[in-house]
Chain A
Amino acid sequence: MNGDGARPVRRRERTVSSAVAVYIIVLLGLQIFLLTVALDALLSYNPGMAWVSALFSVLLATGSAFFYRYLRR
């Protein structure tokens, strides 16, 4: 018996993987913004702002890694 039930599962898998990719793309966009903030802080001799930006960027990268690991299950 062929699985017609296999089709909804495949469709859901594709939807989930597409959604995860979209999430990570949004996080990447935020990280690009944070990098510009850090560079501006570098030019204005403001290491505090640069470290805050780096901290949030690391958090976002952790989120991206979490999403990818979730996808691999």
Chain B
Amino acid sequence: MSDHGARPDGVRHDEPAVTWRRDFPYTAEGEDTVTRREFTRYLALASGAFAISNVGVAAWALARDVPEGEPQRIVALGDVPVGGTHLFRYPHDDEPAILIRTGEDAVVAWSQKCTHLGCVVFYEAEEELLECPCHEGFFDVHTGRVVSGPPERPLPLIELEIRDGDVWAVGYEVPGPLESR
């Protein structure tokens, strides 16, 4: 028994053309009736969605402040050997950081989050480089700048002070947009 009242997409002639039933047919014949014009319409809608998302990301970037970081005691200088490292969290608990004692009185600290895709970097003492194992990105331990690999931005700097033999983190500095390789 055939249903002469139904169109290939399952919508009956005597039923109102409901948009969702027209756009999402439940018969195989209905699925074959997508025209180029309809396809182009959805492409244009997707384009609009991307533009809206981009504006949302830009608004989020505007609202996002660079973390300032409160002064915080990190470690006693004597607890870190020359060429050794100390891991800590700064300026927030979700921001890993690495302190490297590069000399008797020289210490540097950088964000441990690779600027490529956020993997954790570790210190290669022999080469004096910070290495990201995910995609072989390398940063100079003294300047934080990218030496090689896919990262495009240097590591954020953690400003340090030595007070009575203790190392204190006193600030967080994100490199400017023109400070790249």
List residues of chain A with CB under 8 Å of any chain B CB: 14, 17-18, 20-21, 24-25, 27-28, 31-32, 34-35, 38-51, 53-54, 57-58, 60-61, 64-65, 67-68, 71-72
A48 to B138, CA, bound (A): 27
A21 to B66, CA, bound (A): 42
| Contact, CB under 8 Å: B50 / A44 | no
Beyond the given A42-B60, A50-B57, A64-B44, please list 17 additional residue pairs across the A-B interface where CB-CB is below 8 A. Answer: A14-B36, A18-B36, A21-B43, A28-B43, A35-B54, A38-B54, A38-B57, A45-B61, A51-B58, A54-B55, A57-B51, A57-B54, A57-B55, A58-B54, A64-B43, A65-B44, A67-B40
Q: What residues on B are CB-neighbors of A32 within 8 Å?
A: 50
Q: What residues on A are CB-neighbors of B20 within 8 Å?
A: none
Closest 4 CB pairs of A and B: A61-B51, A64-B47, A50-B61, A57-B54
List residues of chain B with CB under 8 Å of any chain A CB: 35-37, 39-41, 43-44, 46-48, 50-51, 53-55, 57-58, 60-62, 64, 66, 115, 152-153, 174-175, 177
Minimum distance in angstroms from B122 CB to a CB of chain A: 21
| Contact, CB under 8 Å: B64 / A45 | yes
Most buried by B among A32, A40, A50: A50
| Contact, CB under 8 Å: B50 / A57 | yes
**24 A-B pairs whose Cβ atoms sit less than 8 Å apart in the complex:** A17-B35, A17-B37, A21-B43, A24-B40, A24-B43, A27-B47, A28-B46, A28-B50, A34-B54, A35-B50, A38-B57, A50-B58, A51-B58, A51-B61, A51-B62, A53-B58, A54-B51, A54-B57, A57-B51, A57-B55, A61-B47, A61-B50, A65-B48, A67-B40
